[in-house]
Amino acid sequence: MKAVVFHSLGKISVDEVQTPLSLDDSIIVKVKAAAICATDLRIFKGERSAKENVIMGHEFSGEVVNVGSNVKDFMVGDRVAVYPILADGKCDFCLKGFRNRCVNRKTLGIDVNGGFSEFFQPTPEMVKLGHIMKLPENVSFEEAALLEPISTVVNSLERLNVGLGDNILVIGAGPMGLLHVMLAKYMGVSNIIVSDYVEERLNVARELGANYTINPGQEDFILKVKELSKVFGGINKAILTVGVADVVGQLLDIIQPQGMISLFAGGGKTFISNIDLNKIHYKELVLTASQNATPEQFKKAIQLIASKRFNVGKLITHKFPLEDALNAFNLRSELKALKVLLLP
Ligand SMILES: [Zn+2]
């Protein structure tokens, strides 16, 4: 079968690899749709490594085509999505429900084979842990390829206790920033302000529910936030969906006392900041972060899509056959696209 394989730093290719063979304790999934994530791009650009010869991809969905003799929970034809974290299920974090923080955590597409391939075979542990989740009939494979990113936004907003009365600032209007807009609106926040340098993306942000947008390339970011704050009383929660360290220092100045700043995005080697800690102290600010999601939040993401309350398909701008994966990575790198799908 064809698969996108990581070989060494900055070196990936679409290869012919062994198709998985039936295992008594696992299943085989025909991958129907897989999405490219910022992490995949970092690997593509050589900014981040992965295990040698691993099949990339951690955002995908598919149909069960083979069920091992010891597996009772699945049938051929089941439509599924994959919670892409391998956890031991027994460490303190797993027992508290935070399998995304498992001390023995492994991630699909980085440490173990992922879904940029024609077929995906979860490890038997993944099947036992319940990390292969069935999809309701009204959730399409393409929508389901976005479940993992949506679940991470659920985690982001839950960690910030986002809800009624909040005024939130989202830094970045890429796919993750836009998902923050969609979900924050759904969760009833008062005002959503989005900042990005790409005007087309800001247009989409407004369409999806952002009350105000800022383009720091065209106007002074801090002045604009201060001006807007006079209208609605200030920003109390800010989320970085792009790994730009300098923004954190600016956010310390513009956020309300007792506000929260969350690092949703990671960054490369330059993601280092020399911030004035007194600003955190004297305003009682919270600097926090979120990464990945719990299985429970992944389930919530399935329910959110099934509710049909918002159109996540709007974020899918391009689709490529699997063999054109490298072109898809290039396109996604140039910021011309939002979510780019590979259709094996
Ligand atoms: Zn664990």
The residue to which tokens 């995304």 are assigned: 100
Question: Span 216-239, mean pLDDT?
Answer: 94
Q: How far is the CA of 88 from the centre of ligand 1 (A)?
A: 4
pLDDT of residue 53: 96
pLDDT of residue 267: 84
Per-residue pLDDT tens digits for 96-108: 999 999 999 999 9
pLDDT of residue 1: 97
Q: How far is the CA of 335 from the centre of ligand 1 (A)?
A: 36
Question: Span 65-84, mean pLDDT?
Answer: 97
Residue 16 has pLDDT above 90, yes or no: yes
Q: Do domains 2-138+308-343 and 152-289 have the same CATH topology?
A: no
Q: How far is CA 99 from the centre of its chain?
A: 16
pLDDT of residue 248: 95
pLDDT of residue 73: 95
Q: If you ran DSSP here, which 8-state letter would residue 108 be given?
A: B
Distance CA 253, CA 313 (A): 36
Q: Give the global pTM.
A: 0.95
The angle formed by the CA atoms of residues 36, 38 and 43, to the nearest 5 degrees, is: 90
Distance CA 27, CA 76 (A): 9
Question: Span 77-90, mean pLDDT?
Answer: 97
Q: How far is the CA of 134 from the centre of ligand 1 (A)?
A: 23
Q: How far is the CA of 42 from the centre of ligand 1 (A)?
A: 26
pLDDT of residue 107: 96
Helix residue spans in the chain (DSSP H): 38-44, 92-95, 124-129, 141-144, 147-159, 175-186, 199-208, 221-232, 246-254, 277-282, 295-306, 325-333
Token pair for 285: 């600010």
The residue to which tokens 């490219």 are assigned: 36
Per-residue pLDDT tens digits for 154-208: 999 999 999 999 999 999 999 999 999 999 999 999 999 999 999 999 999 999 9
Q: How far is the CA of 97 from the centre of ligand 1 (A)?
A: 9
Q: How far is the CA of 95 from the centre of ligand 1 (A)?
A: 7
pLDDT of residue 257: 96
Q: How far is the CA of 269 from the centre of ligand 1 (A)?
A: 28
Cβ(143)–Cβ(310) below 8 Å: no
Question: In angstroms, what CA-CA distances link 278 with 87, 118, 164, 253?
Answer: 38, 53, 29, 11
Residue 123 has pLDDT above 80, yes or no: yes
Instruction: Please give the backbone phi and psi of residue 98, each rounded to the nearest 5 degrees, phi first.
Output: -100, 70
Residue 3, Cβ density class (10 Å: 0-12 exposed, 13-18 middle, ≥19 buried): buried
Q: How far is the CA of 100 from the centre of ligand 1 (A)?
A: 8
Mean model confidence pLDDT for the chain = 95
Q: Confidence band (pLDDT; 50, 70, 90) for 145?
A: very high
Q: How far is the CA of 92 from the centre of ligand 1 (A)?
A: 7
Q: How far is the CA of 131 from the centre of ligand 1 (A)?
A: 13
Question: In angstroms, what CA-CA distances link 238 with 163, 273, 311?
Answer: 13, 17, 24
Residue 230 or 300, more confident: 300
Q: Confidence band (pLDDT; 50, 70, 90) for 335?
A: confident
Distance CA 242, CA 54 (A): 26
Domain boundaries, the chain: 2-138+308-343, 152-289
DSSP string, 141-208: HHHHTTHHHHHHHHHHHHHTT--TT-EEEEE--SHHHHHHHHHHHHTT-SEEEEE-S-HHHHHHHHHH
Q: Strand, helix or coil at 112?
A: strand
Q: How far is the CA of 93 from the centre of ligand 1 (A)?
A: 6
Of the candidates 67, 10, 80, 76, the one whose C-alpha atom is nearest the C-alpha of residue 43 is 10
CATH superfamily of 2-138+308-343: Medium-chain alcohol dehydrogenases, catalytic domain (3.90.180.10)
pLDDT of residue 269: 82
Q: Confidence band (pLDDT; 50, 70, 90) for 270?
A: confident
Token pair for 187: 């969760």
Q: How far is the CA of 198 from the centre of ligand 1 (A)?
A: 40
Q: How far is the CA of 90 from the centre of ligand 1 (A)?
A: 5
Range with the poorest average pLDDT among 71-75, 102-106, 336-340: 336-340
Residue 253 has pLDDT above 90, yes or no: yes
pLDDT of residue 291: 94
Q: How far is the CA of 293 from the centre of ligand 1 (A)?
A: 14
Q: How far is the CA of 98 from the centre of ligand 1 (A)?
A: 8
Residue 18 has pLDDT above 90, yes or no: yes
Cβ(221)–Cβ(194) below 8 Å: no
The angle formed by the CA atoms of residues 98, 85 and 61, to the nearest 5 degrees, is: 125
Query: Which CATH number applies to 152-289: 3.40.50.720, 3.40.50.150, 3.40.50.300, 3.40.630.40?
Result: 3.40.50.720
Q: How far is the CA of 96 from the centre of ligand 1 (A)?
A: 9
